[in-house]
Amino acid sequence: MTVLDYQRPRSLSEAMELLLHDDAVALAGGTDLMVAIRHRAVDPAVVVDLKSVEDIRDDIAVEEDRLVIGGRVVMSRLVSHDVVNEQFPALASAAAVVGSVQIRNRATLAGNLCNASPAADTAPALLAQSAWLTLASGDSGRTVPLSDFFLGPGATILDRGEVVTSVEVPITKGPVGSAFARVTRRRGVDLASVSLACVVEPSGRARFGFGAVGPTPLLAESTVEDLATDDDFERLLSVTSPISDVRAGADYRGAMLRVHVRRALEAAVRQLRARS
């Protein structure tokens, strides 16, 4: 095993420079990375701690027509944030089930997305809310819709040396209804066997994010009107491909998707009505 070196850069350029090396990994909350190191799934020579990089924001702010969640923001901040709870309750609910209080005090939203687990709890809500990421690399940057970010289990479009500096979600004018649902093996802290989020707008547009039922978190879109029959829901769910693993069987996952997608749509529609 490689001797581990720990670096704590203060600037983004320094961090990205360090991360250009093959054997360097980014450390934010550490709740995924430390487990991976312990299991020898990764064997880095350098751990680059991003928590002191001032140019990565660590605040949650409303700017014009969007919510900006800084790259260093931890889950517990999301959970307790008024605007997030009010405008993005599905995201708040999702953040609230990531691990325990101890985990949420360290795990960052950006880190959860970069880890790219197909079951990442926050991804379905962010997908349904049309989130995008702001990335920095070298002396350039780009923005990427979250729906383009994931490539496969544990894989994203991030280039070597590229860092997520913020996650942004558009704030729609007018009311929106949303819902979040999750199937786990126990009521206590658990990874999701199936997770999904639903966002419904007054226009009737309905966006769904799905987790743990494909190689990446998935997005599907329809309208409330078009989701009436069983066939309609099957079409919506055709993007998913649940597998059997140590957590759940494929049959069960598929069945739970079908139960929960209907319940989530109903709940989102109800919430929209209540807010209109």
Partner 1 sequence: MTGVSTVRLTVNGTRRSVTVPSSMTLLEMVRSRLGLTGSKECCSEGECGACTMIVDGEPVNSCLILGGEVDGAVITTIEGIGNGGMTRLQESFLTAGAVQCGFCIPGMVVAASALLERIPDPTIADIQEGLSGNLCRCGGYSRICAAVISSVSRGDTDD
Partner 2 sequence: MTERGVGTSAPRVGGFERVTGAQMFTADIAQDDLLHVALVHLDCGRAAIESIDVSAAEEVDGVVRVFTGADFPNPMPRFGPRFMDRPVIATTETKFHGDPVAAVVAVSRESATEGAAEVTVTYAELPGVYSIDQALAPASPLVVDADIRPSDDPLTATNIRQIWEWGWGDVDSTKADLVLEDTYEFPMVTHFSIEPHVFVAAPEAGGVAVWSSIQHPYILQKTLADLLGLPIAKVRIHAPDPGGGFGGKGYPKYEPLVAMVALELGRPVRLVLTLEETFQAVRRTNARLHFRTGFSDEGRLLFIDAVNDFLMGAYADIAPRVISKSSYFAAGPYKVGAVRAKVRGLMSHTTPSTAFRGFGAPQIAWAIESQIDAAARALGIDAVDIRLHNLAARGEEIVPGDKPADGDWAQSVRIAAEKLGWSQPLPPGHGRGIAVGLKASATAGSSYCILRILPDGSVALVAGTSDMGQGARTILTQLVSENLGVPAEQVTLVMGDTAVVPFDYSTSASRSTVFMGSAVVDACRKAIDDLVSRAAGAHGVETGEVAFTPGQVAVAGDTYTIPEIVAKIFGAVPGEIIAVGTQRGEGDAGHALGGPAAFYEFSCTASEVAVDIETGDYELVKHVTVADVGKAINRQHVEMQDEGAAVMGLGHTLMEQLLLDEHGRIRNLGALDYRIPTFKDVPKSMTSVLVENGDGPGPGGSKGSGEGGLLATSPAIAAAVTQATGAVITDLPLSPERVWQAIQVSKHYEERHDSEDG
Query: What does 17-74 look like in DSSP terms, one character per residue?
Result: HHHTSTTEEEESS-TTHHHHHHTTS---SEEEEGGG-TTS---EEEETTEEEEETT-B
Cβ proximity to partner 1, 27 vs 200, nearer residue? 27
Which listed range, 171-179, 186-194, 200-208, 218-226, lies at the site for partner 2 (CB under 8 A)?
186-194
Identify the residue among 173, 187, 225, 274 touching partner 2 (CB under 8 A): 187
The SS3 call for residue 224 is coil
**Integer Cα distance of 233 and 239 in angstroms:** 11
Q: Min. distance of Cβ 75 from partner 2 in angstroms?
A: 18
143 vs 162: CA distance, rounded Å: 12
Q: Which residues bind partner 1 (CB under 8 A)?
A: 3-6, 8, 27, 29-31, 34-35, 37-38, 47, 49, 51, 76, 99-103, 105-106, 188-189
Structure tokens at 229: 């029959």
Query: Is 255 among the residues that bind partner 2 (CB under 8 A)?
Result: yes
Residues β-bridged to residue 198? 179, 208
Query: Within positions 29 to 88, which residues make up the interface with partner 2, using CB under 8 A?
Result: 35, 40
Contacted entry of partner 1, partner 2, none for residue 151, CB cut-off 5 to 8 Å set by kind:
none
> In the complex, what is the shortest distance from the CB of residue 100 to partner 1, in angstroms, rounded to a whole number?
2
- In the complex with partner 2, the residue whose CB is nearer, 49 or 190, is 190
Spatial separation of the C-alpha atoms in residues 73 and 203, rounded to whole Å = 32
Closest CA to 209 of 142, 268, 144: 268
- 112 touches 156 (CB < 8 A): no
Which residue's CB is nearer to partner 1, number 1 or number 228?
1
The structure tokens 């919430």 sit at 271
- Binders of partner 2 among residues 191 to 210 (CB under 8 A) are 191, 193
The Cα–Cα gap between 123 and 111 comes to 11
R_g of the chain, CA atoms, integer Å: 19
190 binds partner 2, rule: CB under 8 A: yes
Q: Using the minimum distance from each CB to partner 2, give the nearer residue, 154 or 204.
A: 154
Q: Does residue 188 interact with partner 2 by CB under 8 A?
A: yes
Q: Which listed range, 5-13, 63-71, 222-230, 254-262, lies at the site for partner 2 (CB under 8 A)?
A: 254-262
- Residue placing its CB nearer to partner 2 in the complex, 5 or 59: 5
Task: Give the binding site for partner 2 (CB under 8 A).
Answer: 1, 35, 40, 183, 185-191, 193, 246-249, 251-252, 255-256, 259-260
